[in-house]
Amino acid sequence: MIRLFGILIGLGFTVVVLWALLWGAIEVGPVLAEHKQFTEPTAEHEYHREPKALHLSTDGPFGKWDLQQVQRGYQVYKEVCSACHGLKFVAMRDLAELGYSEAEVKAEAASWQVPGIDATTGEVNTRPGKPTDYFPSPYANDVAASSANGGKVPPDLSLMAKAREGGAAYVYSLLTGYREQPAELLREFPDAKSPPGTYYNPYFSALNIGMPPPLTDGRVTYADGTQASTDQMAKDVSAFLQWTAEPSLVKRHAVGWWWVGFLVFATILAWFSKKQVWVPIKPKRAKA
């Protein structure tokens, strides 16, 4: 009787599961039929490109920062990108990690204007930055940023290398990816023509981006004599943004290897301890 009762419960459970699956299929069918764009090809699906390969000194478990390259990337950010994008999560004192001396950090901080308050009137003003300040936003607020950029707020770049799939390679690909729209794209998708005020870039998810090409050959002059080609500047600023997103990357690698060594040593020690403890104890043989 108990066995029969268990069989009936199992059958009932099976019927309920099958009914739920059937009902779900019935409900989903019309939804998929109404959204054919999920299955039909789109311009974004057909012409979007994955980030190009980018090889930096931090690649691999033994990677280290190329401080000269990251310093060049900071220069590109300061002279080009900072006009529209902020670094609100990065303090100016953090530049010391890039090889700048204390005096150089203070000088760099002072070269930025940050929001302040007049001590006598209480009015909002600007003042030279201090090492304890964070990099300022180029706009007072999002409304001002949107108004100055055609209704779009330029994203903060502090964590951009972690926020986008591909990391630094995405940044590099985007900066070097501007081009004319392919004729075959317009033939296949006439409605995909870049709207006024946008620029075609296959590494951007929507294909058309509102940011004009920010880099051109010779846009900056590197102090170390490196030729400032568009490709070189894109690599340098990508390396810098990788640092802003993960400043502890190299330290994390070093700590990881320390723990790997410790675990290997502990495993070997445990194996020898086991041998030492159990060596005088002989296992009993089973009688035939």
Whether residue 121 has pLDDT greater than 60: yes
Q: Encode pLDDT of 56-107 as tens digits.
A: 998 888 889 999 999 999 999 999 999 999 999 999 999 999 999 999 999 9
Please indicate, yes or no, if residue 277 is contained in any of the structural domains. no
Q: Which residue has the tokens 């620029």?
A: 199
Domain membership flag for residue 161: yes
pLDDT at 150 over 90: no
Question: Which pair of tokens denotes residue 276?
Answer: 């030492």
The per-residue pLDDT for 278 is 72
pLDDT tens digits, 195-244: 998 999 999 999 999 999 999 999 999 989 999 999 999 999 999 999 99
Is 25 contained in some domain?
Answer: no
pLDDT of residue 6: 65
Residues of the chain with pLDDT > 90: what percent? 56
| Rounded distance between C-alpha atoms, residue 57 and residue 64, angstroms | 6
Residue 69 sits in a domain whose CATH number is 1.10.760.10
Residue 256 has what pLDDT? 76
Average pLDDT over the chain, rounded to an integer: 86
The model's pTM: 0.78
Contact 237, 175 (CB under 8 A): yes
Q: What is the span of the domain harbouring residue 189?
A: 45-90+154-249
Q: Is the pLDDT of residue 122 over 80?
A: no
Is 140 a member of any domain?
Answer: no
Mean per-residue pLDDT, 101-121? 90
Mean pLDDT of 268-280: 78
Rounded to an integer, the average pLDDT of 43-55 is 91
Q: How many domains does the chain have?
A: 1
Query: Angle at the Cα of 156 (from 89 to 234), degrees rounded to 5?
Result: 105
Amino acid 288: pLDDT: 55
- Nearest CA to 172 out of 164, 180, 183 is that of 164
Indicate whether 256 belongs to any domain. no
- pLDDT category of residue 2 using cuts at 50, 70 and 90: low
Structural contact between residues 203 and 49, judged by C-beta atoms closer than 8 angstroms: yes
| Among 110, 86, 243, 237, residue whose Cα is nearest residue 174 | 237
Assigned domain for 235 exists: yes
